[in-house]
Chain A
């Protein structure tokens, strides 16, 4: 950490530093683009993964916090860029350094109105194009009359704007057409069986070949981040089940870890074990459902029922302990909500006994099928560089050869002590993504096997203050969800509710990379690629 600081200080004397769990660099906007380039390209720094961009309103100034990871040195860094202008705040874009920044910056623009200079696409990402105001700013007018619920169709535009910096430093607003006039544009979504929710791909096709995809989301944007700013910390936890509804356990885990880190609470060993087991059970259930729905997308409906059998078994286990089958709401600050059901150990052992047989069946029915091979192999190949640059984490990133499992890179809870392998494939195609998930089911089963006989006695939830007040400061926590790295950023002013709670979901980069992967492939490949990336729409929209 010290030498990173030294190196940056030498190159950029304007930079100031704040120590913490992750080093924070303050840099003026004028030098930011230069620093970003240096951070990525310098071999010693090599921060090639942009985890998230957190937009912030500190009332006196607006700005962004960029969280960066180095895949080579496994180091983390955060950079803060601010602007004093509230009328027309502008920050330089880094979309040419990290490709995912294009979309992350759109999100910040949507919520804070910060314009990113040189970003090719400065539209709103989630809110409708006629929305007035920027909802996450502290001076936002919440009056429903400002933005009434429209009964009309949402206005659509086929153009986007871009603010380009010219040689002499002046900024010019340019209107850019999204599609060429002769393009045949097909709307895939928002109501389409293969988008797994209300997501919309405006697809320009030439016959059956895809030319370009414009990814359009926000149909189930609920403003979770905004809602959380008005809730106490225990209340914010409930929303973690409502994003990626298959990773509810992991997301709870992530937010709990962040809050516990801030409070300095040490969770009992029993709670740790329970949490990890629940995480892995959800992972198996999620990957099973992925396999089923993915095969259904490809036209093989029978597989769905075979995979749902296992998922049902897991949901029954969850139901006994958590009392719910979908929105578990099980993790809480200090541990878990209630103790394990007496049948838990027996049920999990039954599950582990049937899993290998089921996996064999999946391989025989689908993976070994010659049509499935033809549909999946060499389709949607994502290179390692692109996976990192587009921020594609989770099983999709690992199928491209990027070892990005947070359980291994930044071990949390008791993952550091457990014996499991991080499965990494190098092909990067849809087949690798599918096979990798099956392999991950096996690894999760391995973790469960280690823990099921070793659940320690003790309290399942430690004592926490009745009123949870986080010390002023900012906290960041990454966990591995079912679909990739899930980041939680909390900024607290010492009160009972967060000043800013940023949730960095893995599915936004996944949906964003579809355009890159599908160019030149067939319409049917869009379904294959989208399905194999396995994004969940509520997770994108939040």
Chain B
């Protein structure tokens, strides 16, 4: 497995050799920021295209196929359309909060994006509470949604925002608990540490029953957390037109749209990290030859590939299931997922204490 930190280290030393330390660090930060934004935008465009094609396949359609070969440029065309659209200013709204809301949402999603383990040695920040930081910053998003709903001065957006608040706060619990289960298993909160703990066997295999339960719960809660079907109540288009972002136009709407797709990637990325070994290739103990072949595949391909595979499952949910009702949604969380989760945490602790894992 090739360690990408060699490259980053080389760049760092190269910069340090002919300029003062503060300048080198600043240049690195800017470069990383730009790279991050670029990857963010490109991934979002890919996801839009991906979802459209997948959903078209489910619905016996072709999906985008006019702009560019196989419709590949469709998302770019959509992006440019979004960029040149007017930002409509509304009367009787709280202008500051209205403008702030999309940025809060996108910042939350970008910050969590930054913590993901992209490949071996390819990580922006790696600190000992990485996963805790991720959960903390991803919760900022709900603030943006609540503000958007409130400041639009519209009854539909307000109901959408209230639904969203109730939903996200509830499902945050499930996400947190299933992450906690896996953190307990890994014994570290550091993102790199969690990946490296899965070198021999991914957690979903080594943690067997409690890990699988945690994964299922994480997948359900993650779908709810990203406001996607069948949990897309905050923006249920047949009930609340577009929910909390009804009043947004142009790029402000674009931010919500981007954040929604990127949150899908982040949720899948975290699932990859916690259950499927992050960028770690598939290793089967005892199969040395197989493991070696797997190692030739670059780590970044492993990570992105696994994340997209999990996103496919979440997209599959959306295009198959009808939407839940708000009371059913909350009952699912508080009556079923939460107790199962607590029980699962205890089970996991027992598994660890008695060494019942592989």
Contacts and interface: CB of A to CB of B under 8 A. Distances in A.
Interface string A258-290: 000000000000000000000000000000000
Contacts of A371: 230, 321-324, 328
Query: From DSSP, what is the main secondary structure of chain B's interface residues?
Result: helix
A527 B238 contact: yes
Contacts of B324: 371, 374-375
Nearest to B229: A299
B326 A208 contact: yes
Contact of B156 (A186, A300, A305): A186
A186 B233 CA distance: 17
A438 to B, nearest CB: 16
Q: Which of A205, A208, A296, A309 has the most CB of B within 10 A?
A: A208
B322 A186 contact: no
Interface stretch (A123-131, A480-488, A517-525): A517-525
A301 B323 CA distance: 10
Contacts of A298: 238, 322-323
A503 interface: no
B189 interface: no
A184 interface: yes
A194 interface: yes
A300 B321 contact: yes
Nearest to A522: B325
B166 to A, nearest CB: 10
Contact of B58 (A296, A302, A372): A302
Contacts of B155: 184, 186-187
Contacts of B233: 524
Interface in A500-536: 522-527
B65 interface: no
A297 to B, nearest CB: 5
10 contacts: A186-B156, A193-B241, A208-B159, A298-B238, A298-B323, A299-B322, A306-B59, A365-B320, A366-B322, A527-B238
A295 interface: yes
Interface string B131-155: 0000000000000000000000001
Contact of B238 (A299, A306, A365, A525): A299
Contact of B239 (A184, A300, A301, A527): A527
A186 B159 contact: yes
Nearest to A298: B322
A192 interface: yes
A369 interface: yes
A299 B325 contact: no
B319 A374 contact: no
A372 B323 CA distance: 8
Contacts of A523: 159, 239-240
A300 B326 contact: no
Contacts of B163: 208
Interface in A326-379: 365-366, 369, 371-372, 374-375
B60 A305 contact: yes
Contacts of B320: 300, 302, 365
A369 B321 contact: yes
A299 B232 contact: yes
A522 B238 contact: no
Best-buried of A186, A295, A309 by chain B (most CB within 10 Å): A186
Interface residues on A, range: 20 to 34
B236 interface: yes
B322 A194 contact: no
B237 interface: yes
A186 B154 CA distance: 9
B335 interface: no
Interface string B300-334: 00000000000000000001111111111000000
A193 B321 contact: no
A187 B241 CA distance: 11
Interface of A: 184, 186-187, 192-194, 205, 208, 295-302, 304-306, 309, 365-366, 369, 371-372, 374-375, 522-527
Nearest to B163: A208
A97 to B, nearest CB: 36
A435 to B, nearest CB: 15
A192 B238 CA distance: 8
Given A298-B238, A301-B319, A375-B325, 9 more contacts: A193-B241, A299-B323, A301-B59, A302-B59, A305-B61, A365-B320, A374-B328, A522-B327, A524-B236
A232 B273 CA distance: 75
A372 to B, nearest CB: 5
Given A208-B159, A305-B61, A299 B321 contact: yes
Given A192-B241, A194-B238, A208-B159, A524 B323 contact: yes
Nearest to A293: B238
Nearest to A379: B325
A160 B210 CA distance: 62
Contacts of A527: 238-239
Contacts of B239: 194, 523-524, 526-527
Interface string B226-253: 0001101100111111000000000000
Nearest to A299: B323
Interface in B83-109: none
Contacts of A305: 59-61
Contact of A524 (B58, B237, B319, B326): B326
Contacts of A187: 155
B325 A374 contact: yes
A371 B320 CA distance: 11
Interface string B188-229: 000000000000000000000000000000000000000001
A542 B203 CA distance: 64
B326 A522 contact: yes
Contacts of A301: 55, 59, 319
A309 B59 CA distance: 11
Contacts of B322: 295, 298-300, 366, 369, 371-372, 375
A375 B238 CA distance: 14
A526 B321 CA distance: 19
A357 to B, nearest CB: 14
A375 B325 CA distance: 7
A186 B157 CA distance: 11
Contacts of B55: 301-302
Nearest to B242: A193
A372 B236 CA distance: 16
